[in-house]
Structure 1
Amino acid sequence: MRVLIVSVGDTDSLRWNGRTVPSAMAKVPARGPVEVGTLGFLGDEQADRKNHGGPDKAVLLYPGEHYRAWEHLPDDVERPAFGENITVEGILESDAVIGAVYAVGTAVLQVSQPRRPCFKLAAHHGIHDMAVRVQNTGRTGFYARVLQPGRIGGGDVVEAIRVPEHGITAAEVHRVLNIDRDDLPAARRLLTTPDLLPDSWVTILRRRLDGQLDEQSARLHGAKN
């Protein structure tokens, strides 16, 4: 596992559905190692701090292996085309166990959650359903916290320090939350370790399970009548 490219970007403007929206989606590869702290890389901005950035989304990683699958797109898919800070090799979403800790350069990162692509990815590529395509393929990328600030650059080795035994990966969280919404047993499994998930996602999963209980109760009541 290794870092292919580290990228950062300034806030700029994108056009979307006839309006202008701020975004730092367009990032530029750094020429050397970059300082990273608990809120992300030095020189990297987030235009929407309510939905992006913060300690749990300090660094976005995107597997370089995915780029071949996007070669059919009409636009430029040169790295970094998906707004990632780190284009990584050797670790996919299905390898990234939530809570796993990695030494990367002189920093230490912890896998926090899968990325939920938003409309700005579509605006960046000029493809109206790009976010949906990314979500449906599972080639979303994933976020990491910065447990130990340091410097990360292209070519740095990504070394696993600790991988939790629960085995729940970013790919599995994404699948249950966004794709297989009726997989309630899997939703229950995710909720056995609620500290793995953002509070908003825990709320979504609990509502799904509560909805199932309400439906079962209604059926039982109907059968008695």
Structure 2
Amino acid sequence: MDRSWESGMFKNSVANKIWLGETGLTGDEVADKKNHGGPEKAIFSYSATHYDSWKEELDIEAIGIGAMGENIAVRFMDEHSVCIGDTYQFGDAIIQVSQPRRPCWKPARRFRIVDLALRIQQTGRTGWYFRVLKEGSVQSGQQLTLLERPYPEWTIAKCNEVMYEKKDDVKLAEELHSCKFLAENWKRTLAKRLAGEKSSDDKRVFGPNKG
């Protein structure tokens, strides 16, 4: 846990208008470009209400908005109310939900809790990513206005359930794989599962923190 590391998850709040482009917000740096960033992960969103639970469960008072590395913290939205393909007006931009976040080892390193990524995954408090359909200026405090919900059956919570809890349910994997607006990296993972390939989450959730 004491090894040197690099991360773009330490965010600073911005009050003024900022440009939201195809790959994210102006000035938002991604350290690990292999596993983070890109058009399908332009914005990471996290429910602000989750932090009350984390403070209680982890006994860390300092864990609050921004701690999970989110670009935007939202209220009145969570994994049970947000669906793949949901399209929102956000300031001058239009954004669309692309996938749940698959938690990695870096929040664990930040708070020195080896299994934190696994806890995030098991609780379902993962957050989700948006892709940008229309670039534009956005600002903190602006409301997200739902424009379209093509897949109400595929909440973020349901996607997480298929990915982590029901790995042997081929029918569910096929149905999720066929969701038009699901990010390609999730589709690749599901395709490998359907082809009979086995996978392990250990490298992603523990990384260099273990051993």
**Alpha-carbon deviation of 1:66?**
1.0
On the 8 A contact 2:85/2:96 being kept in 1, the answer is yes
* Aligned counterparts, 1:180-219, within 5 A: 180-193=166-179, 195-211=180-196
Once residues 146 and 210 of structure 1 are traced to their aligned partners in structure 2, the CA distance between those partners, rounded to angstroms, is 31
Cα RMSD, aligned residues only: 1.9
Write the distance in 1 (CA, Å) between the matches of 2:178 and 2:25.
33
SS of 1:23's equivalent in the other structure is coil
Matches within 5 A, 1:1-225: 17-72=1-56, 73-75=58-60, 76-165=62-151, 167-193=153-179, 195-211=180-196
Q: Pick closer, same or farther for the CA change 1:18–1:125 going to 2, 3 Å.
A: closer
Taking a change above 3 Å as real, the CA distance of residues 102 and 132 of structure 1, as seen in their structure-2 partners, is same
How far residue 116 of structure 1 moved from its aligned partner, in angstroms, is 0.3
Q: Name the SS of the counterpart of 1:28 in structure 2.
A: coil
2:204 is aligned to none
Per the alignment, in what secondary structure is the counterpart of residue 49 of structure 2? helix
Q: How many residues align?
A: 195
State the shift of 1:18 in Å: 4.1
Q: CA deviation at 1:173?
A: 1.4
TM-superposed deviation, 1:57: 0.2
Change (3 A) 1:165 1:180: closer
Quote how far apart the aligned CAs of 1:165 are. Answer: 4.2
Following superposition, the deviation at residue 82 of structure 1 comes to 0.6
* Contact persistence 1:142–1:170 (CA under 8 A): yes
Contact 1:61 1:87 in 2 (8 A): yes
Task: Specify the structure having the higher radius of gyration (Cα).
Answer: 1
TM-score (ref. length: structure 1):
0.80
Give 2:203's aligned residue: none
- Is the Cα contact below 8 Å between 1:25 and 1:124 reproduced in 2? no
Unaligned runs of 5+ in 2: 198-211
Moved more, 141-150 or 170-179: 170-179
Question: Per-residue CA shift, 1:102-123, capped at 9, x if unaligned?
Answer: 0012211110000001011111
- Secondary structure, in 3 states, of the residue corresponding to 2:88? strand
2:100 partner letter: P
> Conserved in 1, the CA contact under 8 Å of 2:85 and 2:151?
no
Paired position in structure 1 for 2:200? none
Please list every run of 5 or more consecutive structure 1 residues that lacks an aligned counterpart in the other structure: 1-16, 213-225
TM-score normalized by structure 2? Answer: 0.85
8 Å Cα contact 2:85-2:182 kept in structure 1: no
Q: Percent identity?
A: 39
Structure-2 separation of matches of 1:102 and 1:169: 15
**One-letter amino acid of the counterpart of residue 74, structure 2:** V
Q: Distance in 1 between matches of 2:156 and 2:34?
A: 21
The structural deviation recorded for 1:97 is: 1.4
